[in-house]
Amino acid sequence: MHSNSRGFGQAVVIGGSIAGLLSARVLSDHFEKVIILEREPLPEGPEARKSTPQGRHIHALLEAGLKTLDALFPGMVQEMVREGVDLVDMARDAVWLQSGSWKVRYESGIQSILASRPFLEWKVRGRVTALPNVEVRQGYGVEELVADASRQRVTGVKVKGPQGEQFLEAELVVDTSGRGSRAQHWLETLGYSRPEEEQVGIDLGYTSRFYERPAGFDDWKIMVVNGRAPEAKHSGFIANVEGGRWIVSLNGYFGDHAPTDEAGFLEFARKLPTPYLYEYIRNAKPLTAPVTHKIPSSRWLHYERMERFPEGFVLLGDAVCALNPVFGQGMTVISLGAKILGEAVARARTSPGGLHQGMSHGFQKELGKLVGTCWSLTTTLDLAHPETRGKRPPGLKAALWTIQNMVDLTSVDAKSCHAFYEVLHMRKGMEGLLQPGFAATLLGYSLKSLFVPREKRANLTTLPPPPGKRTPADAEPVDAAA
């Protein structure tokens, strides 16, 4: 393939959902042509797809993901806002019972958007398919990877589509085909080992439906109800989405899932750790019937640890790591993964070896660092339940005690809550929780927890009021020793 102003010839992306679309977008800056292969027909509007059953359920986009989207698609976020999507301050506009205590509310400046997954995917798909060098081929499935004679470099894919089988040449193949990825088998066929696999079994079920949003309601824009583990195994969410609607998702671990009949859905909501969510929806007008999606486990395939890895092939999204969706990190990790891919390909353009001298494995290692932070935090919290299946790391009990104290501290102290939100929304890495001021406050609060009952030092029962213009700078520091 000849060189061109974009640097490389042709890339193939397997899968046309969010991960595939964002991958195609970053590759479009560096390849003459990018082909997205999608097995099923794509809808023309903001409709859920069979291949993304999670699309009917609540989704979150953290600030880091929002900023990445805004950079990749200038003007799209404001366009979505004009079309009915809420741009929210996550500390001001959310009421959140996390692990049994209510987050303090204040003006944080940390932003996100509230949109349904089909709407967001439709907007992204429209931007990507409008690019002159991106082509979407619907009804095409990948049968296998094709490599050179040495089997050290992937040179394309064998596909089956409406015209039968054919070979598609590619300088880079990107697998974004989700949990159903066949990459492990493809790599074995080429003589590579299978990646190490970690699983944390949670048997989670989401049951979701849309409601008409009450007219004039503006007390909050998202409500999250998470009880304290291990006692609480249910959680619930209400979020504004486009079209003047609420999406409501009820979640249960270990096979205890919310029913899809009217009475059962409401009864499940009524038994959440607080009755607030139930009280908001019991008289609201349903717009759709409840639907359920089940997630048996969180899973991470460690491609970054493989001793040998072929050039010209990378994976991202759920094909690498499928996180517990309760924690709302999936789409943000995908967005940042695509950004890392774009940066890796950009570096390869100025490298003597181009794409084929360590770029692929180097990318998987960079992605592994990003995934590892999220995996560690979410699986630690899931392992608080004795029913969770998975390897329990040393020091788990101490880690959970510290995390619970941190969560309780964020229910009474805006400055500590802000430090937590900055890490959650990926403004800062985990080092953000090691800042001297926050660390000292948490240490004092943790010592206090040894002597003062939880109900006397955390907000366990009161729905926090709107904050007005209060910011963390206005907040009085918590007296951890009092």
Query: 80 with 123: CB under 8 angstroms?
Result: yes
Residue carrying structure tokens 């007219």: 215
CB of 102 within 8 A of CB of 277? no
Burial label for 202, CB within 10 Å (0-12, 13-18, 19+), is buried
Which tokens belong to 377? Answer: 């935090």
pLDDT of residue 55: 60
Q: What is the pLDDT of residue 291?
A: 94
- The tokens of 475 are what? 């907040």
The pLDDT, as a whole number, for residue 429 is 85
Q: How far apart are CA 325 and CA 137, in angstroms?
A: 29
pLDDT band, residue 59 (cuts 50/70/90):
confident
Average pLDDT rounded to a whole number, residues 8-34: 97
Average pLDDT over residues 442-456: 95
Q: How far is CA 137 from each of CA 160, 208, 220, rounded to the nearest angstrom? A: 11, 31, 42
Question: In this predicted structure, what is the pLDDT of residue 86?
Answer: 94
Query: What is the rounded CA–CA span in Å between residue 152 and residue 19?
Result: 25
Cβ-Cβ contacts under 8 Å for 78 (sequence gap 6 or more) = none
| In contact, 55 and 117? CB cutoff 8 Å | yes
Note the pLDDT of residue 184.
97
Instruction: Give the highest mean pLDDT range of 81-85, 353-357, 476-480.
Output: 81-85
DSSP-assigned letter for residue 198: E
User: What pLDDT digit, counting tens, does each position of 130-154 carry?
Assistant: 999 999 999 999 999 999 999 999 9
- Residue 384: pLDDT over 70: yes
- The model's confidence at residue 328, banded by pLDDT at 50, 70 and 90, is confident
Q: Is the pLDDT of residue 305 over 90?
A: yes
Say whether pLDDT at 3 is over 50.
Answer: no
Q: Has residue 380 got a pLDDT over 60?
A: yes
- Rounded CA-CA distance 459/414 in Å is 13
Q: Are 365 and 359 in contact (CB under 8 A)?
A: no
pLDDT tens digit sequence for 333-351 = 999 999 999 999 999 999 8
What does the pLDDT look like over 91-102, one tens digit per residue? 999 999 999 999
Residue 417: which H helix or E strand, with range?
A: helix 414-424
Q: What is the DSSP letter of 311?
A: B
According to the model, what pLDDT value does residue 464 have? Answer: 86
Q: Are 353 and 362 in contact (CB under 8 A)?
A: no
Q: How many CB atoms lie within 10 A of CB 180?
A: 10
CB atoms within 10 A of CB 302: 16
Q: For 396-420, what is the mean pLDDT?
A: 95
Confidence label for 481 from pLDDT (cuts 50, 70 and 90): very low
The predicted structure's pLDDT at residue 480: 44
Interval 273-285: pLDDT, tens: 999 999 999 999 9
Q: Name the band, by pLDDT with cuts 50, 70 and 90, for residue 467.
A: confident
Task: Please give the domain boundaries of the chain with CATH numbers for all domains.
Answer: 8-80+119-198+298-378 (3.50.50.60), 87-117+202-296 (3.30.9), 397-474 (no CATH)
pLDDT exceeds cutoff 70 at 427: yes
Two tokens at 65? Answer: 């993901």
Query: Please, what is the average pLDDT of the chain?
Result: 92
N-to-C CA span, the chain: 70
Which of the pair, 271 or 476, is modelled with greater confidence? 271
Does the bond joining 393 to the residue before it have cis omega, within 30 degrees of 0? no
Question: What was the pLDDT predicted at 54?
Answer: 63
Tell me, what's the pLDDT at 47?
A: 81
% of residues, the chain, pLDDT over 70: 95
Q: In degrees to the nearest 10, what's the CA dihedral of 318, 324, 326, 327?
A: -80
Query: Rounded distance, CA 48 to CA 63, Å?
Result: 24
User: What pLDDT is recorded for position 22?
Assistant: 98
CA angle 243, 91, 411 (to 5 degrees): 130
User: Which residue type occupies 111?
Assistant: Q
Give the per-residue pLDDT at 115: 94
Average pLDDT over residues 299-323: 97
d(CA 338, CA 42): 21
Task: Write down the number of H helices and E strands in the chain.
Answer: 13, 18
- Residue 441 pLDDT more than 50? yes
Predicted confidence band of residue 213 (pLDDT cuts 50, 70, 90): very high
The pLDDT > 90 percentage for the chain reads 83
Per-residue pLDDT, averaged over 164-172, amounts to 96
